[in-house]
């Protein structure tokens, strides 16, 4: 009986082991992850590969500021006084600042400036700011630097009208002790410290500090946020139209001569520019390409001041210098860029100084021709 019971139990156990296992319920399927978003198209750069190359190669604006900072402060201070000094003119009524107003971005805003006895010059007075960056001075390039240029208006019969020999200028400054002492201190090795050459050196030293960095300079130095997208498009339009064939370097100009009316005769052009200096036919109607720094503040434009607005100047330059007709949209874009060339006026630096009084020996004003 015991064996039979064991056999029955064994058989029952075998049947249980041979029974197939029940399949557990399937787990709920996991949701599929969403497909990855399509790759975002990379935005095309606004500024072309070669655009900024037009403004490199020469000294940077920062280097020019540093160079100006190394000039003797005493020489700069004397130059500032002479810049505002009307006694350097025959009638004691015209100074450098008369035509190149420092509080007005270095210009007087006139088509032609008024000089001795109300005479008008024949060319528009360009800004004195950043002038030292340019490769020559005056529209026709007849002065090699700002030191030489500073003397030109003093002895020009239409402007300040002092005698060409400079003797009246020297006599005026020597008659005023404060000026005489300043020249002796600054030029101790000169037999005659008060001289026309040293007057030019002093005024030139002051002008070499009249540098106005602008947002544009930050941009070309690598600050991509210095210009808005709209301003960058204007810069690119400036390049694509062809303006950078002449307006190059940190000064956006001032690096070369160009013939006015290069591809189309300029209307009513009688001034021969550089040709009047060299007397060479190939130089006729050539003028220095001016810096465009602060150009939005220095109307009117051109050597004769006949272009009243930036928009007019852009259109005429495109037509007569490049042979292109630019749309109103292009002009507007370029003008937006040109406004990024405006720097800040150094109000403290240009503040008019207190000038020393005349003495009994100081030549009196002469309003005769």
75 close to 205: Cβ distance less than 8 angstroms: yes
* DSSP calls for 24-74: PPPPPPPPPPPPPPPPPPPPPPSS-TTTGGGG-SS--HHHHHHHHHTS-HH
Q: How far apart are CA 314 and CA 295, in angstroms?
A: 11
Q: Which member of 17, 85, 148, 159 is catalytic?
A: 159
Phi and psi at residue 258, in whole multiples of 5°? -145, 145
DSSP conformational letter for 286: E
Q: Which of 266, 317, 261, 256 is nearest to 288 (CA)?
A: 256
Spell 223-256 as b/e; 16+ CB within 10 A means b.
eeebbeeebbbbbbbbbebbbbebbbbbbbbbbb
177: exposed, middle or buried (Cβ count in 10 Å: 0-12, 13-18, 19+): exposed
Bridge partners (DSSP) of residue 307 are 301
Q: Which of 202, 200, 60, 88 is nearest to 137 (CA)?
A: 200
What is the helix (H) or strand (E) element at residue 258, kind and residue range? strand 257-259
DSSP conformational letter for 364: P
Tell me whether residue 159 is one of the annotated catalytic residues.
yes
Q: What share of the chain is helix, strand, coil (3-state, %, to 5)?
A: 40, 5, 55
Degrees to nearest 5, angle at CA 89 with 109 and 198: 100
Distances in Å between the alpha carbon of 33 and those of 37, 75, 212, 348? 12, 76, 58, 66
Bridge partners (DSSP) of residue 137 are 143
Bridge partners (DSSP) of residue 120 are 114
Please identify every residue annotated as catalytic: 159
């Amino acid at each position: 009986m015991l064996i039979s019971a064991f056999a029955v139990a064994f058989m029952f156990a075998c049947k249980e082991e041979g029974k197939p296992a029940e399949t557990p319920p399937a787990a709920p399927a996991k949701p599929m992850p969403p497909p990855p978003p399509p790759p975002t198209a990379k935005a095309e750069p606004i500024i072309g590969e070669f655009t900024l190359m037009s403004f490199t190669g020469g000294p940077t604006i920062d280097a020019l500021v540093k160079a100006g900072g190394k000039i003797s402060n005493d020489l700069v201070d004397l130059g500032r006084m002479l810049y505002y000094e009307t006694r350097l003119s025959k009638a004691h009524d015209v100074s450098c600042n008369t035509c190149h107003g420092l509080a007005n971005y270095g210009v007087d805003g006139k088509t032609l400036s008024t000089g001795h006895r109300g005479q008008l010059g024949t060319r528009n007075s360009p800004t004195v700011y950043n002038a030292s960056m340019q490769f020559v001075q005056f529209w026709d390039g007849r002065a090699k630097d700002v030191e030489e240029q500073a003397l030109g208006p003093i002895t020009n019969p239409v402007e300040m009208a002092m005698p060409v020999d400079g003797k009246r200028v020297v006599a005026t400054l020597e008659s005023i002790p404060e000026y005489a002492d300043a020249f002796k201190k600054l030029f101790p090795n000169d037999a005659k410290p008060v001289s026309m050459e040293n007057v030019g050196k002093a005024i030139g030293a002051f002008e070499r500090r009249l540098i106005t960095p602008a947002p544009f300079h930050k941009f070309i130095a690598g600050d991509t946020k210095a210009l808005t997208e709209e301003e960058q498009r204007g810069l690119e339009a400036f390049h694509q139209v062809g303006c950078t064939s002449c307006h190059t370097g940190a000064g956006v100009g001032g690096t070369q001569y160009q013939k006015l009316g290069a591809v189309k005769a300029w209307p009513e052009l009688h001034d021969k520019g550089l040709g009047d200096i060299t007397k060479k036919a190939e130089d006729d109607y050539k003028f220095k390409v001016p810096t465009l720094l602060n150009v939005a503040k220095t109307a009117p434009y051109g050597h004769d001041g006949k272009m009243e607005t930036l928009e007019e100047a852009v259109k005429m330059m495109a037509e007569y210098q490049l042979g292109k007709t630019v749309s109103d949209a292009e002009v507007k874009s370029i003008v937006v860029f040109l406004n990024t060339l405006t720097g800040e006026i150094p109000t403290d630096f240009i503040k008019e100084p207190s000038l020393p009084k005349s003495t009994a020996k100081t030549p009196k004003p002469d309003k005769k021709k």
